[in-house]
Every structure is written in structure tokens, then in C-alpha cells.
Amino acid sequence: MKNLDKEKQDLLSAIQDLGYESLRYSIFNEYGPGEWEVVIDFDDSKQVYNVYATMDRASKGGIFGFTDFSEAKEKFLKLLGDTIFFNRYYVQEGMGKMYSSPLWDGSTTLSKEMIENYKRIIEESINKKNYQSLVYVLFNEKDTTPFAIHLFFRDNLFMVNCRDDRSYIIGKTFEFTNFLEAKEKFFKLLDFTVREGRRDVANRGSYMYSSPLWDKEDTE
């Protein structure tokens, strides 16, 4: 049986963690959504979560249906992130924004508070995965640490890339309109680093740097 009250608190907690409190959203609201809201509701007859964004006069865009709450939650939060991206773009181009929010009013950069919040979210996931020994850099594109995986913000986009021993970019820089998608790519690259480290140590005895995630223990 669904516990919508618990799931609503889960969503509100995620919104607070991401600093999205000033955005317009509707969570399991029986009275229906308003204008420019990101909406999640639950169709009890079909046992489906519906996630969508409204426009002016509360007209609906595409509706995404999910039977799993975690997938619905992910889509809901990504749509909120997209709201920030589009309104930042509108502000940059001198176009009409959807509504007013400190996340885009008068600024095309991230606030120090928001950057620290994003760092905290990533560090919490790093600690859960025991990835503290991996080399990474958060929101400092010019840092020249060798072999680092970078996540930073530039030109209204979140960007992720990998660096070599001279801190040159390996391959391409991946660009994302919202933080959650960038975070997902960042951790996929960290996961790949761990797999490659274990494979190289097993086959060749060494990797590009040392980590307890792949170093062999000396045995007598």
C-alpha cells in the first residue's frame, strides 16, 4: 500500500537539500496544479505516478507515468532542475521568465551557498560508496590535480570531464542542464575508474594512482 505522506516528505526533503524551495511545485495535491509548476500526482485507479510540468493557465506538457516511486521522484527533481536552466537562459537573453526566483533573478552564476550545497550532496554519496580515495574536483574547473574527475558550472551548464596526468581533458566534456544529471554522469565516471583500476592492477599490477579500492594487499 502506498504511503503518500511519507513519499511527500521524502520529496520535500530532497527539494530542501537541492535548494529548490523557491520553485513552484505540486506534490499529491488533490486541488490540482497552478501555473508553471512541476507536478507529481498519483492515480490510485491505475497505481501510477504522473509527473509533468504546467505552463501558463496551468496547461499541461507531456505527462510521464511511473509505477516506481524512485523513478517518479528522479523525473520530478530533474524537471525542477530544468526549470532553473530555462529561466536562467531566459534571463540571459532578456526574455520573459516564467516567474521570479532567487535561483535565476539577476544572476547567471551559482551562489556560493548553492555550490556548497551541491558539494555536500556529492560528498555524502562519495562517503556512502567509500570513494574518498578517488581523485576528483568539485566546482573548480581550473584546478590542475592530475587524474581528477571534474564537475563544475559554466555558461549556465553543469559540466563533467576527466583529466590526465597533466590535467588535460580526456575525450569530451559532458554538458548538462541540471545538477542531478551531471551528478549521475560524475558517479558513472568514478565507477568506471574503480573498475579500470581493479582490472589494470589484476592484469598489470598497477594503475594511474594508488587507492585501497584496487591496490593489492601484500601477503606473506
Q: What is the pLDDT of residues 168-185, one digit of tens each?
A: 999 999 999 999 999 999
Query: What is the residue type of 98?
Result: M
CB contact burial 58-80 (16+ within 10 A = b; e otherwise): eeeeeebebeebeebbbbbbbbb
- Indicate the pTM of the whole model: 0.79
Instruction: Please report which helix (H) or strand (E) contains residue 12, including its range.
Output: helix 4-18
Does some domain include residue 102?
no
Q: Categorize the per-residue pLDDT at 206 as very low, low, confident or very high, splitting at 50, 70 and 90.
A: very high
Does some domain include residue 215?
no
Per-residue model confidence (pLDDT) at position 31 = 76
Does some domain include residue 13?
yes
Over the stretch 39-49, which tens digit does the pLDDT of each residue have? 999 999 999 99
Residues 144 and 200 in one domain: yes
Over the stretch 131-172, which tens digit does the pLDDT of each residue have? 999 999 999 999 999 999 999 999 889 999 999 999 999 999
Answer for the pair 22, 15: CB distance below 8 angstroms, yes or no: no
Q: Write out the three cell numbers for 201.
A: 592492477
3-state secondary structure of 130: coil
Q: Facing residues of 136 across strands?
A: 149
Over the stretch 61-89, which tens digit does the pLDDT of each residue have? 789 999 999 999 999 999 999 999 999 88
Give the structural domain span for 178.
Answer: 112-204
Residues 126 and 192 in one domain: yes
Instruction: Please report which helix (H) or strand (E) contains residue 40, including its range.
Output: strand 38-43
The Cα angle at residue 100 between residues 151 and 52, in degrees rounded to 5: 70
pLDDT, the chain, mean = 92
Residues 129 and 184 in one domain: yes
- Residue 33: how many other CB atoms lie within 10 Å: 19
For residue 107, is pLDDT > 80? Answer: no
Residues 48 and 123 in one domain: no
**Angle between helix 179-204 and 69-92 (nearest 10):** 120
For residue 192, is pLDDT > 50? Answer: yes
Q: How many domains does the chain have?
A: 2
